[in-house]
Amino acid sequence: MISINSSGGRIFKFGPGLRGRRGLFRLGRWLLKISRRQLDDAEMMLQPFHLDPDSQFDATMRGRLAQAAEDFEAARVGLFPIHAKEGAAFLDGGTSTWEGNGYTLTIMKSLTTVGDVHGYMYGPVLQLDYPLAHGNTTQISHVRFYSGAELNRMLRK
């Protein structure tokens, strides 16, 4: 944590910023790629796209889908998206939207009560735009209910 004394005599503290978190996420993804570790079935089910290896995409389409997948995975584990730019924020508990190249990522964080438990609906919702996807449904979601304490625990990992 760095402290900076401004001209008004106040001290502002800056923790690890968005740039640092993005760098750590990229480093982790890079280490997974170079380790050539096979994903187990549970991890594979959490991936946003399940495409056969012979799928024919041009390099631009493959890159845009990879960016959307990386942003989705980052949001799923409580990190900010790497590639998308921040858009709107809502006053429902912390929902925010992020605009990517051919997709919109909404990080849902909405205050909700289930039974007598107060908490949040939390998770990413990925909306693919044309030409990345077209059809009846072009949205991928991983929204779950968390109590307040569980969400804090998950986001601090």
pLDDT for residue 157: 63
Give the tokens for residue 27. Answer: 């480093």
User: What is the spatial distance between Cα 125 and Cα 128, in angstroms, rounded to a whole number?
Assistant: 10
Residue 69 contacts residue 82 (beta carbons within 8 Å): no
3-class secondary-structure state, position 131: coil
**Least confident among 8-12, 52-56, 72-76, 127-131:** 8-12
Place of tokens 């096979």: 38
pLDDT band at 73 (very low <50, low <70, confident <90, very high): confident
* Segments making up each domain of the chain, as ranges: 1-37, 38-156
Can you give the pTM of this predicted structure?
Answer: 0.67
Nearest CA-CA partner of 124 in 99, 105, 96: 105
Which value, to the nearest 10 degrees, does the dihedral of the CA atoms of residues 43, 51, 70, 81 take?
-110
Yes or no: say if 42 and 53 are a contact pair by the CB < 8 Å rule.
Answer: no
Q: Report the half-sphere exposure of 100 (CA within 13 A, side-chain side).
A: 28
- pLDDT tens-digit series, residues 8-48: 444 444 445 666 666 666 666 655 554 544 545 445 445 67
Q: Degrees (nearest 5) of the Cα angle 39, 42, 45? A: 90
In this prediction, residues 99-115 reach a mean pLDDT of 94
Look at residue 13 in the predicted model and tell me its pLDDT: 45
Q: Within a 13 Å sphere around the CA of 37, how many CA atoms are in the beta-carbon half?
A: 11
